[in-house]
Structure 1
Amino acid sequence: MEEEKLFSVRTEFVSRVSTSVIRDLLDKLLQERVVNSGEMESLQEMARAEKARELIDMVLKKGQPACKILIDAFCELDPFLSELLQLK
């Protein structure tokens, strides 16, 4: 279910999420071992929209538990946008 939810908001997430929220999401995903330091570093050099796109695609490939961690972290870090995207 989380995978479908995340995929359905992909376009809006990519166009609206801020750089600081992406950075905080990456920190949280690293802490939860969803991404490793190599994956995190590869995203650092990208532009904001590309970084958001790669982040969401990377997590989608890792399955349901990873998607849930991303959604929960996003709802915590950006309650306004996550509510707008109906992720809560």
Structure 2
Amino acid sequence: MATERDGPTTVELPRIGTLTQRQQRGQDCVWCGVTLRAGAVADLGPRRLRIGDWTPQWYPRACLKHPTGPAEGGPGPQATCPGLESGPS
């Protein structure tokens, strides 16, 4: 997990194949999937993805609840993000 001194590109991300297209494009948080709004995002820096001999970049972003990844000690981002709370409303 990232520490305070880690830069945004040192944060370990979920595997890109597990993310939705909106998460891959930076429209939704890579951790919890909440739709991001201008001014309320954490830019996680450009990442390279190797596909055969093609190396595109992608630009993951996160909500402000998870700028360095899921909460430590919890089961994942679901523990801290109200956007994924399940159960009766």
Q: TM-score, normalised by structure 1?
A: 0.29
Which has more radius of gyration?
A: 2
Q: Higher helix fraction: Structure 1 or Structure 2?
A: 1
Q: TM-score, normalised by structure 2?
A: 0.28
The structure showing larger relative contact order (alpha-carbon pairs under 8 Å, at least 6 residues apart) is 1
